[in-house]
Structure 1
Amino acid sequence: MVTGKRAYNWYVSLVAASCMVLYGYDASVFNAVQGSKHWVAYFNNPNPNTIGSLNTAYTVGAVVAGFFFGGPLADYAGRRVGMALGSILVIIATFMQCFAPRGNIGCFIGGRVIIGFGQGLALTAGPIYIGELAPPEIRGTIMSFWQMFYSVGSFIAYWVNYACQKHPKTLGEWDWKMVVIFQILMPIIILSQIFFIPESPRWYIQHGKVDGARSALHRVRDTDQEVEDELLAIREALEFEKEAISSGYSALWKDKSVRKRMYLAMIINAGQQITGQGTLNSYSTIVYKKVFKDPAQIALINALNATWGIIATMNATWTVDRFGRKFLFIVGGIGMSACLFIVATVETQTPSPDGAKTLPVGISIVFLLFLFAFFYKPSWGATVWIYTAEIFSMNVRAQAVGMCSQTQNVANSIVQQFFPTFLDNCGFYAFYMFAGINALLAVFVWFFLPETKKVSMEEIDTLFGGANHVEKGAEIVGADDAHHAHLEVEGVTIGDDGKAVTVKKG
């Protein structure tokens, strides 16, 4: 039975997950507008290298923010401020792109840099917030909505674009401007909600605000026992980290266990973007142009694919905490590899009368790419974010999540820059490369990634060769039981000074 506080926990998590709508919309909106003849004419028919640069511009802003600003901002000002500031920057940049002077591609590129910077801030703070508020037993389920909301962003962008592509003569240049301007919708919604939800209790404890942490936990936990147990665990972990481990960026490389997690998380985050999904999301329009000729038909396929992406991601909600992270990674990698191998074979080994594939071939390719999304969305889509947000200890979590998640954009920028030229020169043979990469990713997970399902965030270090921060911290704060604050008669709770004290009940 879902209690009122558990339902509220879902609500605050979904507000934070809305940051991913920003990412999903932006990743899809540029792909969508490439199909507009008015957009192409407005910016003087940009060549493939310029198209690649427009995608790279976004990643520059995102990488700079994620590596150097997202973590410190989330630690200093709070997770909510990171999400709010990112949303404000997205609104500013949306207007820059929509109302760029005719032919001024530089203004459009500048807007994409600022959007990337804003999303780098929001996408660092968002998953940390969800991971720190969610109880361990459903953390994976709640975090799966993070990726689902990426698909929601794509869904909105592609259906708006499809509606506009049905009326290009009536709308004129607004057939692409309408798609761009809709990007302000979600950041406005986020800003209207973000300061009415509680700040992360772990952030409060980091800043010595124990009453704030207790108040925040009371809003999302059902009993006083749960609240005091979690406060105790957070405090124990934080005390151990202060005494035994340094914090900040230096700790990412000094501690062997943290360093190992950084390497693993960076590899799977880069892997997410070289599965082929990132490329398809940015360039599916030009990919489908090799199979279909009608822009409205291509827009419809993209919109249907975005809709299917939401449905496919929902599989993570019931599988990630039941079967585990490794299971999804491995099954997803094998399935994606098979789909792209068959796609490449079907397209390259069938005739193209009149310069286009026959309808049955086109339908089979679309079906296979939809099947690819079925494997990708709950695994390398959702689970990469879940895994990254949960494996780091509190003293380095914000910096590590920011840096590792932006490894996606580093990898993405490399692939996105050369893919248009690669596709022009090699056609669908390019997908053999992605098929091989996906198979290698499945092998990597099998040998190197430990399972993390249902392990508390304060004790997850033990899976990577680190100490148990809760048990080590219990010795420092003087708790008799590292895992429970005994409240029935008397026991340990956390006082306003952050120290363990004895309290009597009744």
Structure 2
Amino acid sequence: MVTSKRVYNWYISLVAASCMVLYGYDASVFNAVQGSKHWVAYFNHPNSQTIGAINTAYTVGAVVAGFFLGGPLADFGGRRMGMTVGAALVIIATFMQTFSPRGNVGCFIGGRVLIGIGQGLALTAGPIYIGELAPSEIRGMIMSFWQMFYSVGSFIAYWVNYACSKHTKTLGEWDWKMVVIFQLLMPVLIIAQVYFIPETPRWYIQHGNRIEDARKSLYKVRDTDQEVEDEILAIREAIEFEKEAISSGYSALWKDKSVRKRMYLALIINAGQQITGQGTLNSYSTIIYKKVFKDASQIALINALNATFGIIFTLNATWTVDRFGRKFLLITGAVGMAICMLIVATVETQTPSPSGAKTVPVGISIVFLMFLFAFFYKPSWGATVWIFTSEIFSMNVRAQAVGMCSQTQNVANSIVQQFFPTFLDNCGFYAFYMFAGINGLLAAFVWWFLPETKKVCLEEIDTLFGGTNHVEKGAEIVGAEDPHHARLESIHISEDGKAVTERRDTQKA
């Protein structure tokens, strides 16, 4: 049965997931504008190295924010503060890019750096917020919308670009500026809503032991008193254990053996997400399709359709991730992507190119294979990597660890983006054989090293990685008789006729 509180839980989660629209839009917008002759002329025909630098500029900002700023801001200012500051920086950066002086590519790059910082902050806070408020039994389903909203961002960017590409004579230079400035839409909506949603109970208890604030937050998204009290007890137990037995600060990242193990695994799969080939397709699909098609408007339409199907493909994660598990999706996705990359490289390199372009049947085959690649990628290495990363860390290090691991995507992506244009120019579609091999290795890595995390309580997930059960050990510290269930003492009727629940604290006097 769907209750009003469950619906509200979805609403606040989707507000947080909107941060991913920022990422999806920006990851696609520069790819889109590269097809504009006005953009190319405006910045004096940048070469492939400059194109790579513009892409890398974003990742530099995102990496700095993710590794050094996102975690502390989300921890000390709150998850909502991280999302707000990130969205505000995206707004400033959008104006910088749109109104860069003619020929001043440095200003455009500066905007890319700032937008990277903003997204590094927002992308650290957003998944933590969702993970900490979503019920464990549907946490994977809700988090799958995180990746779907990336596709929503791409959808908006590519369809705006396609519309502008059909009116280039009328719009002039605004055929690319319109695409860039449209990025204002989502950060404005995020800022307008974020302070009308509750902060996470884990943050309240971790900062000043504000149990009543945590209780109010949980009452908005949990259906019964017992659920609220059980979750508050589990949070208190875990936090007390982490403070006393490990560390209340970030030193647990290297002091706790099980946390170190999780860091290694999360760093590898987040880097792996971007070297599957998807990061390259997001940034350079326009350049790639130019080797197959000659009409810029046709390429813009293909990108827009790809983004549209990306939303549909990601929806597959909503019903598969909690049913079949994270591990199954990652392995299946990697194998499927490897096969797609192998076939697309073979088709392109082993067919003739009359008049400098592929024949229509060959072109259609390549586009179909790229769409099939997205079908395998979106629910697996697209959505599931984020889900796994956001749920495996204990509270004392969660914000910093998620920020560092998620931004490993940009570290890997910046390396690939910098050399791929040159690689593509020199080797053509033979480059895709490399991605086929990488995806095969990723499937083997997941099979051997990743545990299954579906439907496991956040406070007890440490046991999957050789760690201690923080809830059970914390129960001894706070004096709880039952580590998993808080006791509700009685319910009586007050003088005004209202039912009042009296709670007994599970901590011993």
Say yes or no: TM over 0.5.
Answer: yes
1:417 maps to 418
How far did residue 249 of structure 1 move? 2.8
Which residues in structure 2 correspond to 1:340-355 (within 5 Å)? 340-355=341-356
Q: Deviations over 1:272-323 (max 9, x none)?
A: 0000000000000000000000000000000000000000000000000000
The 3 A distance-change label for structure 1 pair 134 and 60 is same
Q: Aligned equivalents of 2:172 and 2:254: distance in 1? A: 53
Letter in 2 for 1:407: T
Q: Aligned equivalents of 1:247 and 1:59: distance in 2? A: 30
Report the secondary structure of 2:396's partner residue: coil
Number of corresponding residues? 499
How far did residue 68 of structure 1 move? 0.3
1:13 maps to 13
CA contact (8 A) 2:43 2:102 kept: yes
CA contact (8 A) 2:490 2:502 kept: no
1:134 maps to 134
Report the secondary structure of 1:500's partner residue: coil
Q: Deviations over 1:171-206 (max 9, x none)?
A: 000000000000000000000000000001000000
Q: Deviations over 1:241-275 (max 9, x none)?
A: 00001133321111100000000000000000000
Letter in 2 for 1:220: V
Q: Aligned equivalents of 2:50 and 2:109: distance in 1? A: 10
Letter in 2 for 1:19: C
Q: Aligned equivalents of 1:48 and 1:254: distance in 2? A: 44
Q: Aligned equivalents of 1:139 and 1:488: distance in 2? A: 30
Q: Aligned equivalents of 2:74 and 2:210: distance in 1? A: 16
Q: Deviations over 1:143-163 (max 9, x none)?
A: 000000000000000000000
CA contact (8 A) 1:228 1:494 kept: no
CA contact (8 A) 1:148 1:310 kept: yes
Q: Deviations over 1:332-373 (max 9, x none)?
A: 000000001000000000000001000000000000000000
Letter in 2 for 1:500: Q
Letter in 2 for 1:79: R
TM-score w.r.t. length of structure 1: 0.97
1:49 maps to 49
CA contact (8 A) 1:486 1:492 kept: no
1:28 maps to 28
Q: CA RMSD in A?
A: 1.2
Which residues in structure 2 correspond to 1:220-369 (within 5 Å)? 220-369=221-370
Report the secondary structure of 2:488's partner residue: coil
* Stretches of structure 1 lacking an aligned partner (at least 5 in a row): none
CA contact (8 A) 2:165 2:297 kept: yes
* Stretches of structure 2 lacking an aligned partner (at least 5 in a row): 492-500
1:168 maps to 168
Q: Aligned equivalents of 2:442 and 2:502: distance in 1? A: 46
Query: Which 4+ runs in 1 deviate beyond 6 A?
Result: none
The 3 A distance-change label for structure 1 pair 239 and 423 is same
1:379 maps to 380
Report the secondary structure of 1:321's partner residue: coil
Which residues in structure 2 correspond to 1:186-197 (within 5 Å)? 186-197=186-197
Q: Deviations over 1:374-422 (max 9, x none)?
A: 0000000000000000000000000000000000000000000000000
The 3 A distance-change label for structure 1 pair 492 and 390 is farther
Which is worse superposed, 345-354 or 240-249? 240-249
Q: Deviations over 1:194-236 (max 9, x none)?
A: 0000001000000121111000000000000000000000000
Which residues in structure 2 correspond to 1:79-118 (within 5 Å)? 79-118=79-118
2:78 maps to 78
Q: Deviations over 1:122-151 (max 9, x none)?
A: 000000000000000000000000000000
Aligned-residue sequence identity (percent) comes to 83
Q: Aligned equivalents of 1:76 and 1:501: distance in 2? A: 29
1:486 maps to 487
1:4 maps to 4
Letter in 2 for 1:123: L
The 3 A distance-change label for structure 1 pair 204 and 494 is farther
Q: Aligned equivalents of 1:349 and 1:295: distance in 2? A: 24
